[in-house]
Homo-oligomer: A and B are copies of this chain.
Amino acid sequence: MRLLNASGCLDALAAPDVARSLDVFVTKTVTPLPREGNAPVRIAEVDHGMLNSIGLANPGIDNFLSHSLPRLGELGVPIWVSVGGFAASDYADLCDRLDDCQEVAAIELNVSCPNVDDVPASVGGIVGAARAATRKPIYTKLSPATADVAAAARAARDAGTDGLSLVNTILGLALDERTLRPTLSRGRGGLSGPALKPIALAAVYACYEATGLPIVGMGGITSGRDALEFVAAGASDVALGTILFSDPGASTRISRELQAELAAVPVDSPDNAIGLAHAAPTFAEGVARRDTSLPV
Interface residues of A (CB under 8 A from B): 39-41, 46-49, 51, 119, 143-148, 170-176, 178-182, 187-188, 191, 194-199, 201-202, 204-206, 228-229, 232-233, 265, 273, 276-277, 279, 281, 284-285, 287-289, 294, 296
Structural contact, B276 and A180, CB atoms closer than 8 A:
yes
A201 touches which of B143, B172, B179, B296 (Cβ 8 Å): B172
Contacts of A289 in B (CB 8 A): 178
- Distance (Å) between the CB of A103 and the closest chain B CB? 33
- Distance (Å) between the CB of A49 and the closest chain B CB? 7
Given A172-B199, A175-B201, A181-B281, 12 additional A-B pairs, CB 8 A: A47-B194, A48-B48, A119-B148, A171-B206, A173-B198, A175-B277, A179-B285, A180-B228, A180-B276, A180-B277, A188-B205, A191-B198
Structural contact, A201 and B229, CB atoms closer than 8 A:
no
Contacts of A119 in B (CB 8 A): 147-148
- Distance (Å) between the CB of A123 and the closest chain B CB? 11
Please indicate which of the listed interface residues A119, A172, A276 has the most CB atoms of chain B within 10 Å of its own CB: A172
Contacts of A46 in B (CB 8 A): 197-198
Closest B residue by C-beta to A188: B202
Structural contact, A47 and B197, CB atoms closer than 8 A:
yes
Closest B residue by C-beta to A49: B198
Given A146-B147, A188-B206, A194-B47, check contact A201 B181 (CB 8 Å).
no
